[in-house]
Amino acid sequence: MSRFWSAVVHGLTPYVPGEQPKLDNLVKLNTNEHPYGPSPKALEAIRAATGDSLRLYPDPNADALKAALAQRHGLQPQQIFVGNGSDEVLAHAFMALLKQDRPLRFPDISYSFYPVYCGLYDIPHRTIPLAEDFSIRVEDYLPQDGEQPGAIIFPNPNAPTGRLLPLEAVERIVAGNPDAVVLVDEAYVDFGGESAIGLIDKYPNLLVVHTFSKSRSLAGLRVGFAAGHADLIEALERVKNSFNSYPLDRLAIAGAVASVEDEAFFQASCRKVIATREKLIADMRALGFEVLPSAANFIFASHPQRDGAELTAELRKRAIIVRHFKAARIDQFMRITIGTDEQCDILVEALKDILGR
């Protein structure tokens, strides 16, 4: 703390991401990265972009990436916004679209960056408790007793629970709030959900945000995008151009375009993670764990007799890192990223050891 800090800085509570330990030989299942590498075509494109052209600024509009994404999703390029990771895309959306006079609504258990952005941009908000089974209740997001949400955001599948809200339920929320932006954060949707991007031409209030960090295994490249009505996208572009005109560098644009064009690799790599997830869920249930249904590349699991923090610490002693959240209702749980088959087997063996099985 310093007397030179502005009042804004004093009031901030920064987001603390999952740790990135520097040790080798860890089974690292704490930050939902993809266990296998990105498309070889993406790596090749990144290598090819590391030449003399790095002297030059990148395309500030990343038109090549917008065109590739628009084609992949059946949209127009002006319906796509790209940014430096979906965190940056979300940051711009909070400022450009979610800051309204009426409170923004989001689930009390969801991505912990949302309250951070609300603090940063001074956004009035109301958190809504999840149902008993950790699902999102559609009625809580519809105008009630004459009170309309200012805007709505939720992850789908939700994080850290992994639970999916079916597309028809998402559509009821979007259709029920024609005067409010509904942002669906689909960071994990490729692992078993159905994207709301297909609804965009029907609903001008719908914004869908995706990341290249999970299903495309490019977390290190920092690429995310939003898809929505051109008016919503224009608002994001305005904020971006007032903040950082070059969010994506040349390597990121080249790698992301090649990744989008390698559809076969993408589909196969998502299928692989899903198959491993289903096996891990079965193995953990056999050990007595309660595991929420997951449509993501992680699971949320608790043991009726064992404390979540203690299990996390025991795993850590065995060089396995999972995520534990010290928060109401979920402190019995561990969020476990789906690793390779081998990593998941190591995890299951360690849990057997801890449980004395």
Binding site for ligand PMP (CB under 6 A): 85-87, 111, 155, 159, 185, 187, 211, 213, 219, 224
Residue 204 exposed, middle or buried by CB count within 10 Å (0-12, 13-18, 19+):
middle
DSSP state, 58? P
Query: Is the CB of 216 or the CB of 229 nearer to ligand PMP?
Result: 216
Minimum CB separation from ligand PMP for residue 341, in Å?
23
Vertex 169: Cα angle to 182 and 156 (nearest 5): 60
Give the side-chain half-sphere CA count within 13 A for 132.
Answer: 0
Minimum CB separation from ligand PMP for residue 52, in Å?
30
Contact call for residues 42 and 255 (beta carbons, < 8 A): yes
Question: What are residue 183's phi and psi, to 5 degrees?
Answer: -105, 120
Minimum CB separation from ligand PMP for residue 214, in Å?
7
Query: Is the CB of 224 or the CB of 308 nearer to ligand PMP?
Result: 224
List beta partners, residue 298.
Answer: 337
Minimum CB separation from ligand PMP for residue 211, in Å?
3
Residue with tokens 């917008």: 66
Query: Is the CB of 30 or the CB of 350 nearer to ligand PMP?
Result: 30
Query: Is the CB of 112 or the CB of 148 nearer to ligand PMP?
Result: 112
Minimum CB separation from ligand PMP for residue 213, in Å?
3
Helical residues (DSSP H) of the chain, grouped into ranges:
7-10, 40-48, 63-73, 85-93, 113-121, 167-175, 230-241, 250-261, 263-286, 308-317, 341-355
CA-wise closest residue to 113 among 150, 81, 142, 86: 86
Work out the number of other CB atoms within 10 angstroms of the CB of residue 144.
10
Query: Is the CB of 39 or the CB of 161 nearer to ligand PMP?
Result: 161
Minimum CB separation from ligand PMP for residue 253, in Å?
15
Query: Is the CB of 205 or the CB of 215 nearer to ligand PMP?
Result: 215
250-261 and 40-48 are packed helices; what angle lies between their axes, rounded to 10 degrees? 150
Residue with tokens 């930050």: 31
Query: Is the CB of 155 or the CB of 193 nearer to ligand PMP?
Result: 155
Output the CA–CA distances (angstroms, integers) from residue 21 to 30, 321, 337, in the order listed.
10, 9, 15
Minimum CB separation from ligand PMP for residue 230, in Å?
23
Query: Is the CB of 86 or the CB of 195 nearer to ligand PMP?
Result: 86
List beta partners, residue 227.
Answer: 80, 208
Which amino acid type is present at position 206?
A: L
Minimum CB separation from ligand PMP for residue 87, in Å?
3
Token code pair at residue 218: 């490019």
Minimum CB separation from ligand PMP for residue 281, in Å?
19
Query: Is the CB of 31 or the CB of 340 nearer to ligand PMP?
Result: 31
